[in-house]
Amino acid sequence: MIGVVFEEGFREQGEALAAKLNLPLVQDPEAFQYGLRITSPGLEIADLHKKQRPIRVDFHQLNDERSGGDLLKAVNTKTHKTVLDATGGLGRDAFTLAKAGCTVILMEKNPIIHALLEDGLLRAKDLQAVQRMTLLHADSFSAIPEHPAEVIYLDPMYPARKKDALPKLEMQVFHALLGAEQNELELLQMALQHARKRVVVKRPIHAPVIQAPSLQFKGKTTRFDVYLK
């Protein structure tokens, strides 16, 4: 499904990455849907059969964007300064919170997504926000109790859309790597046991609540369900 490819001059790095992640090197692109590709701008995941923008973690680009109003309100970054992002993903929300002054621990259990995050953080280590971010290769169910924080932030995987048109590359890859099924209720209850102040859950705007929240902050396509301790 996914193998390692590399640009000319990156063979050594490519072979090392393939060995580290236990992935094959791509010899025949027809045999793979996706490639974990080492390039000059950074590590990325690309669809080897369709022209789509590859997935890459680029915190310098995010640093130039203004976003996160509802997220910052839901976390209440004016008061809460320590956040555990237990479902790190590509780190966008964690970076937004760090940019607002929070110290953020990110957990990501999938080794391929973790590698993308690790690469992105390394390339952006000059940014003050990135210096407030710590990445852990960990499963949130077992690691949450070991990392107490004022706020625990969750962005659980949402089931694939039941439409003929495929979702964008990022969602396709996440479903392929992580699967669509997560025990959202169990994860929320774990977070509620260990967050000191609140738990914030990111959801598509029309998705059902996992359990009744204390507060909600709604945007056009996304909402944040807030559970106060």
pLDDT, tens only, 24-70 = 999 888 899 999 999 989 999 998 988 888 999 999 999 887 777 99
15 and 103, same domain (yes or no)? no
Residues 71 and 149 both lie in one domain: yes
Question: What is the total count of domains within the chain?
Answer: 2
DSSP H helical ranges for 4-110 = 11-21, 59-63, 69-75, 92-99
- Consult the annotation and say whether 123 binds a ligand: no
Question: Does the pTM exceed 0.85?
Answer: yes
2: helix, strand or coil: strand
pLDDT for position 6: 83
Contacts of residue 192, defined as CB under 8 A and 6 or more positions apart, other chains included, come to 199, 227, 229
CATH assignment of the domain containing 43: 3.40.1630
Q: Residues 145, 190: one domain?
A: yes
Q: Tell me, what DSSP letter sits at residue 204? A: E
Report residues of the chain scoring pLDDT below 70.
157-167, 178-182
Q: Is 70 annotated as a binding residue?
A: no
Mark whether 29 and 68 lie in a shared domain.
Answer: no
Q: What is the CATH number of the domain that holds 122?
A: 3.40.50.150
**Domain limits at 180?**
60-228
Burial state string for 194-204 with b = 16 or more CB within 10 A and e = fewer than 16: bbeebbbbbbe
Where does residue 27 rank: exposed (0-12), middle (13-18), buried (19+ CB within 10 A)?
A: exposed
pLDDT at 182 (0 to 100): 62
Instruction: Return the pLDDT at 158.
Output: 60
- Mark whether 122 and 33 lie in a shared domain: no
Same domain for 76 and 24, yes or no, is no
Determine whether the annotation assigns residue 155 to a binding site. yes
Phi, psi torsion values for 115, nearest 5 degrees: -65, -40
